[in-house]
Amino acid sequence: MNFIDLLKRIPEICKTPETLPLEGKKLILDFVTWLGSLVGIAVPPWVLTLVNILVVIVAIIAVFLIMFALMSVWERKILARAQNRYGPNRVGPWGLFQPVADGIKMLTKEDIVPRNADKVVHFIAPIVMLVPALILPVLLPYGRGMVAIDLSVGILFFFAVGAGSEVAIFLAGWSSRNKYSILGAMRAIAQMISYELPLVMSAVIVALVAGTLSPTGIVEAQGGYQFGFFPNWFVFTPWGFVACVLFYFSALAESNRSPFDLPEGESELVAGHLTEYSGFKYALFFMAEYVGMFAINGLLVTLFLGGYQAPLPFLTFIPSWCWFFIKLAFLAFSLVWVRATMPRFRIDQMMQFAWKFMLPMSFAALFSAAAWHYAGRGLLGWGISAVLVAIPYFALGYFCFTRHHSADNRRYLFSE
């Protein structure tokens, strides 16, 4: 094997885009072996394993950080468009280099630690926030055979790791010794606990139907086409649609995105748990939030939108991993869209929405999914399932969101 052979393989690999990333990884491993032979030693297997792991990690982190950078521009552009202005357009073509400028600004800013802060915890918090966020993308299947760790309990592991960010937010809020920080952290944790229930419940529904907790298995369960053209994605079943919407809103709340951004509501709490952070620590929080948001939306794609499956049979020529990122980009766009459109919730509305509407609806969707399964997953099941989610939807809507009381009937329980 020599270097020329390796170079020759590159155009070959590029001919089949479907397997491009996997073949690329093999190429790098062969390159390492070649490097070894250059020095005159046989590369030990543990080095190859290590390189294998590192390549995957670097690739995933690089992809997500690039996405984060692009998203920060894209979000501002879309928001600007929604508000009838230009948005960032000074740095580079169409303002594309804005993230670089932002990064330099963040890095060179003074890192301020309040005098009374618990310095160790204050330092640890951004790290504790970022690490789980970077673990999350490892679990997602990006394409056929493209999953870094195919864990049999991947879905649960995802939520388990995701819970780390709650601890991090608490650390940040508590260690700052600042009223705004601690209020923001309390709001954030209350919100995340509340929305974790519908989030996990709607994932459980999918696990129930797919019969597995492995993300790859769930994507495979959504393969194939009904009547030859209609994709078997779970979002196209009544229960799946409900669960998908619930998951979407819970994901919004979990990543503290507008309209659920009251933990850092600027007009009330300065910046919530981030109040006392500046410079690079702030940037780490920011990065963790975005990476976590991509990851959880990636999970939504996996659970409901068919993962890497193409939407129509004749579109399968586009490689599977492209489909994953196309769907993810669509979701990212919708997040910004929601942010530009919706006003922020009030805290009691937010809590009511979680406990009185989303949680019961997720149970309804669970029953509906079970009915769909036992009715044979056909049109009959589709109908029964639709009825089973429609009834609770209208009932809950009537009881939760219709005003039954006049204004003076309100009770202010905690205002004495």
Which residues of this chain interact with another protein, rule CB under 8 A? 121, 151-153, 156-157, 159-161, 163, 166-167, 170-171, 173-174, 182, 185-186, 189-190, 192-193, 213, 413
Between 137 and 162, whose beta carbon lies closer to another protein? 162
Between 110 and 408, whose beta carbon lies closer to another protein? 408
The total of other beta-carbon atoms located within 10 Å of residue 223's CB is: 15
End-to-end CA distance of the chain: 81
Closest CB 29 distance from another protein, rounded Å: 23
Closest CB 120 distance from another protein, rounded Å: 9
Between 154 and 240, whose beta carbon lies closer to another protein? 154
Q: How far is CA 400 from CA 220, 348, 396, in A?
A: 38, 12, 6
- For every residue of 229-278, DSSP letters joined together read TEE--GGGSHHHHHHHHHHHHHHHHHTT-TTS-GGG-HHHHTTGGGTT--
Check: CB of residue 13 under 8 Å from CB of residue 23.
yes
Closest CB 414 distance from another protein, rounded Å: 8
Closest CB 139 distance from another protein, rounded Å: 11
Between 98 and 250, whose beta carbon lies closer to another protein? 250
The tokens for 241 are: 């649609």
357: DSSP letter: I
**CA pair distance 378, 387, nearest whole angstrom:** 15
Between 50 and 163, whose beta carbon lies closer to another protein? 163
Closest CB 51 distance from another protein, rounded Å: 20
Buried b (16+ CB within 10 A) or exposed e, 300-330: bbbbbbbbbbbbeeeeeeebbbbbbbebbbe
Closest CB 157 distance from another protein, rounded Å: 5
Between 66 and 160, whose beta carbon lies closer to another protein? 160
- For every residue of 4-17, DSSP letters joined together read HHHHHHHHHHHH-G
The total of other beta-carbon atoms located within 10 Å of residue 163's CB is: 13
**CA pair distance 164, 151, nearest whole angstrom:** 19
Closest CB 93 distance from another protein, rounded Å: 44
**CA pair distance 287, 284, nearest whole angstrom:** 5
Closest CB 290 distance from another protein, rounded Å: 22
Omega prior to 17 cis, within 30 of 0: no
Between 213 and 371, whose beta carbon lies closer to another protein? 213
Give φ, ψ of 142 to 5 degrees. Answer: -90, -25
Between 181 and 222, whose beta carbon lies closer to another protein? 181
Closest CB 371 distance from another protein, rounded Å: 19
Between 185 and 283, whose beta carbon lies closer to another protein? 185
**CA pair distance 251, 273, nearest whole angstrom:** 19
